Structure 1
Amino acid sequence: MRRLRVYGRIARVLLVVALGLSMASIFGLLERLGVANSMVRRQRWSRFFMARLSNALPFRVTVHGELPRQPMLWVSNHVSWTDIPLLGMLTPLSFLSKAEVRTWPVAGWLAAKAGSLFIRRGAGDSQLIRKQMTRHLQEQHPLLLFPEGTTTDGRGLRTFHGRLLASAIDAEVSLQPVAIRYLRDGQIDTLAPFIGDDDLLSHLMRLFANDQGRVEIHVLKPIACQGQERAALAFQAQQAVQKALFGDVVQPAEPRRNGELVAA
């Protein structure tokens, strides 16, 4: 019976993926015909797809906070690939993703057709992607990135990198921090994280072989970017997410010079 439940859940996900492929194929056909596809339309259809994919996943989702009405640069902690549909269902937006995702079968094509921006780590194209992000935001298209740069096990946060947050300053938009937490039986969910050498099929089998988990999404207070530096923005966003998830505030490192504490 449990095996049948697992296969049934996977079949539902595959049906949703087939829907996404059909939608992406339509966008691809329109591109070949020279018909313009606005980013607004792409983001709306992406949200439609993400909502149905989220419904097919074994999670009960609770959203806290108020969704912004203005386009912003969203920043979130990163636990699993499931963060993307769960956050993408909230509002029409695009994602900043690592360049390798573009080469993934099915997922990469879907991400590209949905309007994702891609960045190559260590390739020296940070200025180019910063300009692309700035233009994206200036054109009133919300964008989400994961400033930790990788996934975690959900028990803590990595440092939020501020390099790409400069696009929010350039575009004169606010920063929208978001905290996502996976719970199972009242504890941090150990099944949801997608880290290390995990593969998608094994991860799905793990999730679907168990009962539903809980997901809490906290849409936090926006952070004004005007007159701020990107490192300060990253620190403020990390503090906000840390407090929402764990009730703790990241303490600023004490300034040092040549190993000696510097008096304030």
Structure 2
Amino acid sequence: MQRLRVIARIVRVMLVVLFGLGMATLFSLYERLGVATSAQRRQRWSQRFMRRLSGALPFKVRVVGQLPQQPMLWVSNHVSWTDIPLLGMLAPLSFLSKAEVRSWPVAGWLALKAGTLFIRRGGGDSQLLRKQINQHLDQACPLLIFPEGTTTDGRSLRTFHGRLLASAIDTGTPLQPVALRYLRDGKPDPIAPFIGDDDLLSHLMRLFSQDCGEVEIQLLEPIASHGEERAALAFKAQLAVQVALFGAEPVAQPQRRAKAA
């Protein structure tokens, strides 16, 4: 019975991937023909794909809070690759992702065609990235980033990096903090986290062999960015997510600098 369940789930995901490949191929054809496709259109199609992919994953999802009514820079804690479809199904979004994802078979190409921005760790391209994010937000296109810079096991929260929030200040874009929690039998889910040297295929097989887990997505109060220093803005976002997830405030208020970087 378990084997049949795994096979059925794999088939369902593969059908969704085929839909995504068709969507990405269409955008590639547009590019070859010189037909302009706006970022907003890519985001709408990406949301359709994310909805289908989320529906194929073994999770029961509960969303708490209100979706933003204006373009924002979304910031969320990061537990797994499944964060992306689960958040991407909520609204038309683009994502900031690590450069390694670009080389993933199929998924990397789909991410590129969906308008994902890629960041290289230690690549020295922070100014270029800041410019790209500014352009994205200036076009009123919502963008989601994971300011921890890596995934966790869901039991703790790492420091939010302020440099990734500089564009929100540059463009006056508010932040939409999101607290993401994976549960299994009422406790932190040990299967959902995608950390360390884990590989995508092995992780998928573990997920599909188990009963459905639970995911709680909390859309927290937006945070204004106007007049803020990026370290202070990152602190506010981190604190909001920390309190929503763990009900504690262990992070220390950053020192205010004489001049924002």
Same fold by TM (over 0.5)?
yes
Q: Displacement of 1:99 after TM fit?
A: 1.4
- The equivalences for 1:82-93 within 5 A come to 82-93=82-93
How far off its partner does 1:250 sit? Answer: 3.1
Distance 1:186 1:243 in 2: 18
SS at match of 1:178: strand
Structure 2: give runs of 5+ residues left out of the alignment. Answer: 256-261
Distance in 2 (alpha carbons) for counterparts of 1:202 and 1:143:
29
CA contact 2:182–2:192 (8 Å) conserved in 1: yes
Distance (whole Å) between structure 2 residues aligned to residue 46 and residue 213 of structure 1:
24
Instruction: Tell me what 1:30 maps to.
Output: 30
What SS does structure 1 have at the residue aligned with 2:34?
coil
Extract unaligned runs of 5+ from structure 1.
Answer: 256-264
The residue number in structure 2 matching 1:13 is 13
Compared CA separation, residues 240 and 32, structure 1 to 2 (3 A): same
Are 2:229 and 1:208 aligned? no
Q: CA deviation at 1:251?
A: 3.6
Structure 1: how far apart are the matches of 2:194 and 2:119?
A: 20
The answer on whether the counterparts of 2:163 and 2:230 sit within 8 Å (CA) in structure 1 is yes
For the residue of structure 2 that corresponds to 1:195, the secondary structure is coil
The equivalent residue for 2:222 is 222
Partner of 1:67: 67
Shift of residue 135 of structure 1? Answer: 1.1
| 1:253 to partner: Cα distance | 5.5
Equivalent residue, structure 1, for 2:76: 76
Match of 1:260 in 2: none
Residues 112 and 254 of structure 1: CA distance in aligned 2, closer, same or farther (over 3 Å)? closer
Offset of residue 164 of structure 1: 1.5
Query: Which residue matches 2:194?
Result: 194
Deviation at 1:252, TM superposition (A): 1.5
Matches within 5 A, 1:175-186: 175-186=175-186
Equivalent pairs counted in the alignment come to: 255
Greater CA drift, 144-153 or 97-106: 97-106
Asked if 1 retains the 8 angstrom alpha-carbon contact of 2:235 and 2:253, the reply is no
Residue 158 (structure 1) aligns with: 158
In structure 2, what is the Cα distance between the partners aligned to 1:5 and 1:160?
Answer: 38
* TM-superposition CA deviations, 1:147-201 (whole Å, max 9, x none): 0000000000011101020100011110110011000000000000000111111
Q: Secondary structure at the match of 1:181?
A: strand
Do the aligned residues in 2 keep the contact of 1:238 with 1:250 (CA within 8 Å)?
no
Confirm or deny: 8 A CA contact 1:135 1:171 kept in the other structure: no
Secondary structure of the residue that 2:95 maps to in structure 1? strand
Structure of higher CA gyration radius:
1
Matches within 5 A, 1:138-157: 138-157=138-157
Q: Percent identity between the aligned chains?
A: 73
Contact 1:16/1:49, CA 8 A, preserved across alignment = yes
- Cα gap change, 1:236 to 1:253, in 2 (>3 Å): closer
SS at match of 1:225: coil
Which residue does the alignment assign to 1:248? 248
Q: Counterparts of 1:180 and 1:127 in 2: how far apart (Å)?
A: 29
Q: Deviations over 1:100-134 (max 9, x none)?
A: 21121111100010011111111111011101101
Q: Give me the whole-angstrom Cα distance separating, in 1, the residues matched to 2:136 and 2:251.
A: 33
- 1:229 and 1:60 map into 2 onto residues whose CA distance is 38
8 Å contact from structure 2 (residues 74, 145) kept in 1: yes
CA–CA separation in structure 2 for the residues paired with 1:254 and 1:120: 26
Q: Given that residues 239 and 249 in structure 1 are in contact (C-alpha distance below 8 angstroms), is that contact kept between their aligned partners in structure 2?
A: yes
